[in-house]
């Protein structure tokens, strides 16, 4: 009988005289596998661990070597947020250096960056006023909702109304652009205003000079209003008739200012308080005469009544 392990031919016996393998076990295996040729050593199949088997990570059941390795999949929402943030900071840095050139190259794909820019402007301006008043309130209560949240909602409305006004004005000039494209470009033109208002916000946190901080804030607001006109005028090359781009820019600025004036009662109390502080600092600063203080306050009250 030929040994299945080493191939040696044995005349008789139970074990191979060369390697000592059991000849009875070989005979039994040959009977169980009739198709396997006798005399050819069988190759043992190595059992691969589950991590090396095909489909090991496809959810197939694995043997005794444990669970398949798990890979952390990136969060799609987080990846999208990172992409939007990178796009905004890239646009912000470029538009701050060259507002005209960068703004005219914006498209609908940069709408998210434009929205962020406009929301920041609508948020930073009221927060600056809030911290200015809080640092000069002399212990008086300064409600955050009244001096920050309510003006923020008002500013968001003004921003949305201004973008809608730009879009309508362009339609009168026969400029074919989507609302998203206009929003992206308006947001890019608002970047310088956002930067200026952000400086005013930082100054308000550092208890800087009230008059100086108010002046910086005012410059930022004026820059934002001018951005409305620049946004309309930037489409002058696409104006094929109707309302001229120059008059469209002037009209959009005038309507925005008129809209703020008509809705000033929403924020009248807040702005009057800020104006009161500013006027007291400018007109009455350094005065030690109490009678002069009383007369000065009386004149300020008259002025504030006119502002109302």
Greater pLDDT, 269 or 114:
114
Please check the confidence at residue 201 and state whether its pLDDT lies above 90: yes
Tell me the mean pLDDT in the region 241-251: 88
Q: CA–CA separation, 234 vs 245, rounded Å?
A: 8
5 pLDDT tier (thresholds 50, 70, 90):
confident
Choice among 139-148, 231-240, 259-268 with the minimum mean pLDDT? 259-268
Predicted local confidence at residue 19, as pLDDT: 72
The answer to whether residues 19 and 2 touch, using CB atoms and an 8 Å cutoff, is: no
* Three-class DSSP category at 1: coil
Output 39 or 10, whichever has higher pLDDT.
10
pLDDT at 197 over 90: yes
Long-range CB contacts for residues 128-131, cutoff 8 Å, separation at least 24:
128/197, 128/200, 128/201, 128/204, 128/213, 128/217, 129/204, 129/217, 129/270, 129/271, 129/274, 130/204, 131/201, 131/204, 131/205
- Environment class of 114 (CB within 10 Å of its CB; exposed 0-12, middle 13-18, buried 19+): buried
CA atoms of 127 and 42, how far apart (whole Å)? 83
Greater confidence (117 vs 285) lies with: 117
Q: What is the pTM of this model?
A: 0.64
H or E, element range at 228: helix 210-233
Q: Convert the pLDDT of each residue in 21-36 to its tens digit.
A: 777 766 666 555 554 4
Q: How far is CA 80 from the centre of its chain?
A: 9
What is the pLDDT confidence band of residue 225, given thresholds at 50, 70 and 90? very high
pLDDT reported for residue 300: 44
Q: What is the pLDDT of residues 175-190, one digit of tens each?
A: 888 999 999 999 999 9
Q: Which tops the pLDDT comparison, 275 or 99?
A: 99
**Beta carbons of 35 and 57 less than 8 angstroms apart:** no
Q: Is a pLDDT exceeding 90 seen at residue 166?
A: yes
Comparing 126-140, 163-177, 289-303, which segment has the lowest mean pLDDT?
289-303
Q: Is the pLDDT of residue 131 over 50?
A: yes
What pLDDT is recorded for position 286?
A: 44
Length of the chain: 308
At 29 the pLDDT is 60
DSSP characters over 151-200: HHHHHHHHHHHHHHHHHHHHHHTT----HHHHHHHHHHHTHHHHHHHHHH
**pLDDT confidence band for 146 (50 / 70 / 90):** confident
Q: Does the pLDDT at position 60 exceed 80?
A: no
More confident residue, 182 or 300: 182
- Contact yes or no for 208/221 (Cβ under 8 A): no
Would the pLDDT of 195 be above 70? Answer: yes
Tell me, what's the pLDDT at 188?
93
Alpha helices in 33-177 (DSSP H): 76-97, 99-104, 111-135, 144, 150-172
């Amino acid at each position: 009988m030929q040994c299945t392990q080493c191939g040696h031919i044995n005349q008789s016996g139970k074990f191979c005289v060369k390697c000592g393998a059991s000849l009875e076990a070989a005979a039994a295996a040959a009977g169980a596998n009739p198709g396997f040729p006798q005399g050819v050593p069988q190759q043992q199949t190595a059992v691969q661990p589950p991590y090396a088997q095909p489909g090991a990570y496809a959810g197939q059941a694995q043997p005794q070597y444990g669970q398949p390795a798990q890979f952390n999949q990136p969060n799609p929402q987080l990846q999208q947020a990172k992409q939007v943030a990178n796009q905004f900071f890239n646009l912000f840095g470029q538009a701050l250096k060259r507002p005209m050139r960068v703004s005219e190259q914006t498209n609908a794909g940069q709408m998210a960056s434009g929205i962020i820019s406009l929301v920041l402007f609508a948020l930073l301006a009221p927060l600056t006023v809030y911290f200015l008043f809080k640092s000069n309130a002399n212990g008086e209560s300064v409600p955050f909702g009244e001096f920050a949240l309510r003006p923020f909602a008002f500013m968001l409305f003004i921003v949305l109304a201004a973008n809608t006004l730009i879009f309508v004005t362009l339609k009168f000039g026969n400029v074919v652009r989507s609302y998203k494209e206009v929003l992206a470009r308006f947001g890019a033109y608002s970047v310088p205003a956002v930067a200026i208002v952000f400086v005013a916000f930082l100054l308000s946190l550092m208890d800087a000079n009230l008059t100086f901080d108010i002046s910086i804030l005012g410059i930022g607001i004026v820059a934002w209003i001018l951005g409305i006109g620049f946004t309309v005028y930037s489409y002058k090359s696409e104006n094929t008739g109707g309302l001229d781009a120059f008059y469209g820019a002037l009209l959009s600025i005038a309507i925005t200012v008129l809209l703020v004036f008509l809705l000033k009662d929403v924020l009248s109390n807040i702005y009057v308080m800020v104006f009161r502080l500013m006027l007291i600092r400018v007109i009455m600063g350094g005065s030690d005469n109490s009678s002069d203080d009383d007369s000065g306050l009386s004149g300020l009250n008259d002025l504030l009544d006119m502002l109302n």
